Amino acid sequence: MTYEAMSLDVQHLLSQLHISKCILIGHSMGGKTAMTLALQRAFSYWVWIGPWALLLCLKKAETDLVERLVSVDISPTPTGPVTSFPAYISAMKSMSLPRGIPRSTARRLAEDQLRSVVQVPAVRQFLLTNLVEVEGHYMWRLNLEAISHHLPDIMTFPAFQSYYPGPTLFLRGSKSPYVSDKDFSEIERLFPKAKIQCIAGADHWVHADRPQEFIAAICNFLLLP
């Protein structure tokens, strides 16, 4: 469960759907996956230094697939210091529910068990959408073992020497710590045409906290030449 693997999943899906050009919009982990895909299909170069020569080779840019890119409240930098994601996964793995209870009761008990760790009600409700019943037993539809095993990969970002030359928008929430001013230099290195926009009053869930402002920012970006 690395960003490189998830990027390939998206590319395979686009191929199956016969989509040859797209605008990618990704939030949080989805944003890192979208950035990885754009960077994998963009300019890169390598240098060979021999006894008599310096050779510089440029790979052909393949920006036709990703026409534009929007990253929502995430940057191409490690996020471990600012996220509670590992604690959420641990709380979900330790949840225990009795068999044969109504779904409404299961959701209530699950929420009670998550409450001390996942303190934001909207985030708890989002996590609970992944609670499913299988033959009277309640479980998470997510592969928590795979997520736990790859937490170091999820909390960081792949190393790239290439850059994505297409139009890029980074939308950040004013109340969120996920994109900070110190990330700007890495954003500009990998995405030289990036615009960074802050949505006032939004936390990490920008699209849920300020939906009107979020949609307006996306539409304005898509209208740019």
pLDDT digits 0-9 by tens, 112-166? 999 999 998 988 999 999 999 998 899 999 999 999 999 999 999 999 998 999 9
Q: Is the pLDDT of residue 63 over 90?
A: no
Phi-psi bin for 119: left (phi > 0), alpha (psi -120 to 50), beta?
Answer: alpha
Q: Which pTM was predicted?
A: 0.84
- Determine the straight-line distance between the first and last CA of the chain, rounded to whole angstroms: 36
What is the structure's pLDDT at 80? 77
* pLDDT of 11 higher than 80: yes
Which residues are tagged catalytic?
A: 28, 145, 204
pLDDT score, position 62: 44
The number of CA neighbours under 13 Å toward the Cβ of 70 is: 20
Q: CA–CA separation, 10 vs 172, rounded Å?
A: 23
Give pLDDT tens digits for 163-188.
Answer: 999 999 999 999 999 999 999 999 99
% of the chain exceeding 70 in pLDDT: 91
Instruction: Return mean pLDDT, the chain.
Output: 89
